[in-house]
Structure 1
Amino acid sequence: MLFFTPSAWAQFTVGAQLRTRSEFRDGQAAPLPKDASPAFFTSQRTRLSAGFSGYRFKLGATIQDVRVWGQDASTINRTTTQDNNALILHEAWAEIMLLDTVVKNKSLNLKIGRQEIVYDDSRLLGNLEWLQQGRRHDAAVLKYETGPYTLHLGAAFNQNRENTAGTVYNPTPPGNYTANTNGAAMYKSLEYLYAGKKLGKGSLSLLFLADQFSKFHPDSTGVKIWDKGVHTRMTTGLYYNNTLDKLTLTAAGYYQFGKNANAQDLSAGLLSAAFQYQLCSTFSAGLGADYTTGGIGTDGTSHAFDPLYGTPHKFWGYMDYFYVASAFGNRGLQDYYLKTKYKPNSKFQLSADLHQFYSASDIPDNLSRKFGTEADLVANYALTKVISFEAGYSHFWNTISLTSPGVKNVGNAASNSNWAYVMVIIRPEMVVQKLGITN
């Protein structure tokens, strides 16, 4: 049978990643009390990935293990607990080409399974690459592309197990890891439409996303009991990015409405604008500003914008004070920043950023809206195409407004915080261009 079966050609790809990061934390994510000691540890991410593509299909899978050096006893086989990431299936997906390859300049593909969902600059939808565990979704995405135009429709529906009746969903994420960038619960379902057009050296896109969260009621002790039905939150807006000669312009605006996971009426927004200018072949500099609304209206409406499932480490300071696991009272944020980049050759890059942070809403007790100032310095060096090194240092000068009870609520807080890291990344990949298979 194998002898008479017609053969075809396919491509097989195998890749790996070993990323170790040693961190010194003296007020990372939030200022420490003055009598607290800094933390130091080394974490490691190990990934093994494989890809297989043939006639009108692609397959991809990534196995990932994340751990801190020393968290396991060296003489035993650790039993995985919810508080540790451990070994997981990061990606496992198939992509089907619904149009034949003879159709020119058009593609209609269906991608199903566990996958990273990344669009534009990763502000609202990103793979959270900085965190060792990353982010992925169990979803189906229908992708249509023709020429410079892109249209994607995506959907996900989450359940805790194979139920025999009902679809009530417990959205509490396992362990100590938050489900989205604001530390809220995991969505029960999600749908989105993404439409984009490629420009000369950039893109213009529209996003409409709806995510649903399980309804609940508190029991006598205040613990949430999950009920039938959902609250729906909707987010829509535009993103623009383009390079004109030596000037790169970026702008975005999004509006959020409906009800959030806490059943509050929602009316919130995000505005962002920035430019970067190439002063010479090795150095560029630019200015920018981000504004996200926050606070609660007199009618109980929440104005706290949630940047969904993005990569906040990329935008609001590398010390992760805002829109990560450490909350800041849903106050909203004003971020005015200067970013510089020095790249003398293809192997070395040095970036230096300065952020000035303010609350977007009033702080209790008539405190100033100023949160503080952050300076970030990052150096990257590529030893080879496979091996690279990265090191960074950040410093935060905070105010009493940031550590006040209505914001981060840190008593007897230090006024200066530090964070430093060194990271080694090894990422080999092997591609077999042609592989005989049977149909």
Structure 2
Amino acid sequence: MKKWFPGRVSLILPGLLLSQYGYAQLTLGAQLRTRTELRNGQGAPQPEGTAPAFFTSQRTRLMAGFSAYRIKLGLTVQDVRVWGQDASTINRTTTPDNNGFMLHEAWAEILLTDTVVKNKSLSLKIGRQELVYDDSRLLGNLDWLQQGRRHDAAVLKYESNSWSTHIGAAFNQNKENAGGTVYNATPPGNYTANTNGGNAYKSLEFLYVSRKLNKGNLSFLFLADQFSRYHIDSVEHVAVKTYEGAVNTRMTTGLFYTQAVNRFSCTAAAYQQFGTNGNGQTVSGSLLSASFFYSVNKTFSAGAGADYTSPDFDPLYGTPHKFWGSMDYFYVASGFGNKGLQDYYIKTKFKPNARWAVSGDVHEFYSASAITGIKKQFGTEADITANYTLTKMIGFEAGYSHFWSTATLSSPMVKNVKNAAANSNWAYISVNIRPEFLIK
């Protein structure tokens, strides 16, 4: 069954729609994903003697998609919470931090060219949507995080057999203002502003051009994001950021390449970042990445790769959990002193049948810049993940990660953890249930 709308949701009066548009189709779906975690130094080393954390989080989504002549609609609402975080007597109107219910996606895509134009299309997608490009390193939906990531944006898309060109833009405001465009970059809500947990952008523009190759792809990205300037005021002896109408502009541009030849596949990327970041600092950073994988046989594949990010580079709005270790020590909410990162890794995957898949990875992490008086090595991480598909709608996932950290990682110049344990670990088990229905 071919679906134009992968895994989306809810209640759109199917009887009325289908009677009015005999050629229309409606996709309904849901997701219930629980993740039980044991955290003993996930994100950053824990001080010696700290008790591990243990909890279960849950994401519940309702999704709907509607497709008719020259239009598609998508809707995703979700509730994200930790089991037991809010008792039935808590009023979440006055305790907004407990409110995990939100609109994840709500968009329309309008086909501007007539459908009789073969192999070419021009469309406009507007509304709250995920932005996912290439390998999700710089633009991804951050699906591992229960909240995920979305953007309020408009994207103009041109597609042909071998070329894709997308032009997107977003302009954020906190409310309907009577005057001015001052934007508070730390709006409330259960979501991260960007990959590094920094300021939310006030506006964003990007150009993405992709060329399909024989069993591969080559793409170009130029992205500019603007951040509200601010100054520090003292309110009752407490420093408070006051945001202004002027902006700082940061720009990121580069190439992504992937190619497969028989059993061999390779990926490479290079990006440059310049301009001024959200804190008003001039940046000049780069990201370089290269990897290869080889399918030994139908069940086993292995490969190796290396990533380099300079101290000034910020990986924007991507999915770091996919690249820099499952324990999320780098380029997530917990900073590491703006030292940049070198990551050398080996990855393996074993898939004995259609139901089972097991992967094992090892990362060796170093600082990309010198650190006065100490060595550059951050540590070693080993990750193992197992997936089992019970049915098309029910899946199980379990994982274990271990991090052997150095004194450099916990030093004041990096993670700044006093009396840090040298060994950290993290384990989880997840149940993912995704029913989907297509109504024609």
TM-score for the superposition, normalised by structure 2: 0.93
The residue number in structure 1 matching 2:325 is 317
**Residues matched between the structures, number:** 420
The residue number in structure 1 matching 2:51 is 37
**Does the 8 Å contact 2:147/2:190 carry over to 1?**
no
> CA offsets per residue over residues 240-269 of structure 1, 9 Å max, x none?
011110011000000000001111111000
> d(CA) in 2 for partners of 1:211 and 1:32?
34
Pair 1:419-2:436 in alignment: no
> CA offsets per residue over residues 364-401 of structure 1, 9 Å max, x none?
3x111000000000000000000000000000000000
Give the aligned residue type for 1:310.
G
**Does the 8 Å contact 1:80/1:86 carry over to 2?**
no
The residue number in structure 2 matching 1:197 is 211
The residue number in structure 1 matching 2:3 is none
> d(CA) in 2 for partners of 1:419 and 1:85?
27
> d(CA) in 1 for partners of 2:403 and 2:42?
9
Equivalent in 131, 136, 141 of residue 127 of structure 1:
141
**Does the 8 Å contact 1:85/1:133 carry over to 2?**
no
Pair 1:210-2:224 in alignment: yes
The residue number in structure 1 matching 2:35 is 21
Equivalent in 380, 383, 386 of residue 373 of structure 1:
380
**Does the 8 Å contact 2:147/2:191 carry over to 1?**
no
- Higher relative contact order structure (alpha carbons within 8 Å, sequence separation ≥ 6): 1
> d(CA) in 1 for partners of 2:21 and 2:405?
65
Query: In the TM superposition, what is the alpha-carbon distance from 1:178 to its structure 2 partner?
Result: 2.9
Which residues of 2 match residues 16-415 of structure 1 at below 5 A?
A: 16-74=30-88, 78-79=92-93, 81-84=95-98, 86-175=100-189, 177-220=191-234, 221-294=238-311, 304-364=312-372, 366-415=373-422
**Does the 8 Å contact 1:278/1:285 carry over to 2?**
yes
Identity among equivalent positions (%) equals 69
> d(CA) in 2 for partners of 1:169 and 1:252?
33
TM-score for the superposition, normalised by structure 1: 0.93
> CA offsets per residue over residues 120-155 of structure 1, 9 Å max, x none?
000000000000000000000000011110000000
> CA offsets per residue over residues 310-344 of structure 1, 9 Å max, x none?
00000000000000001001110000000000001
Give the aligned residue type for 1:336.
Y
| Structure 1: gaps of 5 or more residues | 295-303, 434-439
Helix, strand or coil at the partner of 1:147: coil
> d(CA) in 1 for partners of 2:157 and 2:94?
37
Helix, strand or coil at the partner of 1:313: helix
Query: In the TM superposition, what is the alpha-carbon distance from 1:224 to its structure 2 partner?
Result: 1.2
Helix, strand or coil at the partner of 2:413: coil
> d(CA) in 2 for partners of 1:141 and 1:41?
38
**Does the 8 Å contact 1:279/1:285 carry over to 2?**
yes
The residue number in structure 1 matching 2:4 is none
> CA offsets per residue over residues 31-80 of structure 1, 9 Å max, x none?
00002110000000000000111010001100100000001114556447
**Does the 8 Å contact 1:148/1:198 carry over to 2?**
yes
Query: In the TM superposition, what is the alpha-carbon distance from 1:421 to its structure 2 partner?
Result: 0.1
| Structure 2: gaps of 5 or more residues | 1-15
Helix, strand or coil at the partner of 2:408: helix
> d(CA) in 1 for partners of 2:149 and 2:227?
19
**What RMSD over aligned residues (CA atoms) do the two structures have, in Å?**
1.5
Query: In the TM superposition, what is the alpha-carbon distance from 1:81 to its structure 2 partner?
Result: 3.8
> d(CA) in 2 for partners of 1:421 and 1:212?
37
> d(CA) in 1 for partners of 2:20 and 2:164?
35
